[in-house]
Amino acid sequence: MRQFPPDFLWGVATSAYQIEGATRVDGRGESIWDRFAATPGKINDKSDGSVACEHYRRWPEDIELMRWMGLKSYRFSVAWPRILPEGRGRVNVAGVDFYSRLVDSLLGAGIEPFVTLYHWDLPQVLEDQGGWPVRATGDAFVEYADVMSRALGDRVKRWITHNEPWCISVLGYGNGEHAPGHKDWTKALATSHTLLLSHGKAVQVIRSNVQRAEVGITLNLTPGEPASPSPEDADACRDFDGGFNRWFLEPLYGRGYPLDVVEDHVKAGRIPSASLDFIQDGDLKTIAEPTDFLGVNYYSRAVLRSNRIPEEKNAPRTVHVSPDKTDMDWEVYPKGLTQLLVHLQTEYKPGPLYITENGCAYSTGPSADGRVHDVKRVDYLRTHLEACSDAIAQGVNLAGYFAWSLLDNFEWAYGYEKRFGLVYVDYATQQRIPKDSAHLYRDVVAQNGLDVEQAA
């Protein structure tokens, strides 16, 4: 048995737009994902989040599922356009009430709410006024953080400001794969800055509103490995790690932006010059506001091969990508999680770490016996929990693990094609069926550990 620390926080994670549906109900305003999904060609299966898992109506059933799993915590996000339909100013009481009831019921079920403020559903009106590249959007976010932390702060202690600034800036404003769909790297970099700055300010605001608050940010971190020992591959790895990981970690932990990353962007022709004129005096200090934890979303690693020299001139590959991949085409590589956690702890000393997302897409549906035998997900979950336990054994202060996701849901630009849930959702009937992985997770939580003998 691999035992976890006694107060380890076992949970699952979801996000508002991916599960709630009810996008036009009770005064909710339009979000950038409503607009983006309605734009032809943006979502693979032409779907949107207007129905999703109908969680807005079915949340009592979903809490029941979590109670059945014995979970200690639930990480969910608040839909900003439900709270402030015009982005700022007027508060929509019906929206606040929805989350307030959810929080009360979670607490009643013995499940601690862990709230993410921004998981990608910016009010469309704010995008119309310039979106994340402009500082005013950051100010609006801080006002929203103020409204929510006042409304729920008597009951919610753990807060995440932003989920995955890399995705918001690069996918949303750099390559246009996500809402709002811009392809402009200058905007992407400005976006990352607004996000980090508004994070720092929101940390201060939440702390002032909530007694014993614990506030942090969630980053999607992907460790890179050079495909060979050649200097070119080492440089490709530095470049990847810089843009993906260090660009966010370094300023958050007081080291400022890594300038090699800016040079990479200039060299690649993504931005015209190395000037970062969106940074103002004092910003870097605000961004580095100390936090209570770091949230880590881990799915896979990246193996980097240089494209600066011809393949035949490069050193032979020594690191091979395993053919074991999920439906996202992401390599299954649990060791990367241990390496990442150890690296974060030694390099940045972030205090407690939480895995705020970890999971895999496999399309497995119900068998003739009515159950969902998601063998591959069971394996993924096991090996990644082992990787967490290895990290803890190496001294990492890992305080909790949140599986992505409670339910199959709207996977952004992929629509409903990718199923990440521990619980299967039949979208025609909205029936929920706990998969074998949910049963495994239930055992793990009950034992506060992983039975390794059983796995062999």
**Binding region for substrate:** 18, 119, 163, 299, 404, 411-412
Name residues whose C-beta falls within 8 Å of residue 282's C-beta, 6 or more positions apart in sequence.
none
The two tokens of residue 72 are 């200690």
Q: Does 74 bind ligand FCB (CB under 6 A)?
A: no
Task: For residue 164, indicate whether it is catalytic.
Answer: yes
Q: Does 420 bind ligand FCB (CB under 6 A)?
A: yes
Count the site residues for ligand FCB by CB under 6 A: 12
For ligand FCB, the binding residue among 33, 412, 416, 441 (CB under 6 A) is 412
Task: For residue 127, indicate whether it is catalytic.
Answer: no
Q: Which is nearer to ligand FCB, 164 or 374 (CB)?
A: 164
What is the β-pairing status of strands 2-3 and 449-450?
A: antiparallel
Q: Does 15 bind ligand FCB (CB under 6 A)?
A: yes
For ligand FCB, the binding residue among 36, 404, 416, 424 (CB under 6 A) is 404
Instruction: Give the burial string for 195-214 (b: 16+ CB within 10 Å, else e).
Output: bbbbbbbbbebbbebbeebb
The two tokens of residue 26 are 């009770």
Binding letters toward ligand FCB, positions 215-254, x by CB under 6 A: -----x----------------------------------
Q: Does 408 bind ligand FCB (CB under 6 A)?
A: no
Q: Which is nearer to ligand FCB, 98 or 420 (CB)?
A: 420
Binding letters toward ligand FCB, positions 155-174, x by CB under 6 A: --------xx--x-------
- Quick one: the chain helix, strand, coil %, rounded to 5? 45, 15, 40
The helix/strand count (H/E) of the chain reads as 17, 14
Please give the angle made by the CA atoms of 71, 62 and 404, to the nearest 5 degrees.
Answer: 60
Binding letters toward ligand FCB, positions 267-306, x by CB under 6 A: ------------------------------x---------
CB of 146 to ligand FCB, least distance (A): 24
Q: Does 356 bind ligand FCB (CB under 6 A)?
A: no
DSSP per residue, 128-173: HTT-TTSHHHHHHHHHHHHHHHHHHTTT--EEEEEE-HHIIIIIII
Of 20, 112, 127, 164, the catalytic one is 164
Please give the angle made by the CA atoms of 46, 132 and 75, to the nearest 5 degrees.
Answer: 70
Q: Which is nearer to ligand FCB, 378 or 407 (CB)?
A: 407
| 3-class DSSP assignment, residue 65 | helix
Q: Which is nearer to ligand FCB, 250 or 411 (CB)?
A: 411
Contact by Cβ (8 Å): 197, 283? yes
Site residues for ligand FCB per CB under 6 A? 15, 18, 163-164, 167, 220, 297, 357, 404, 411-412, 420
> Catalytic residue numbers?
164, 357
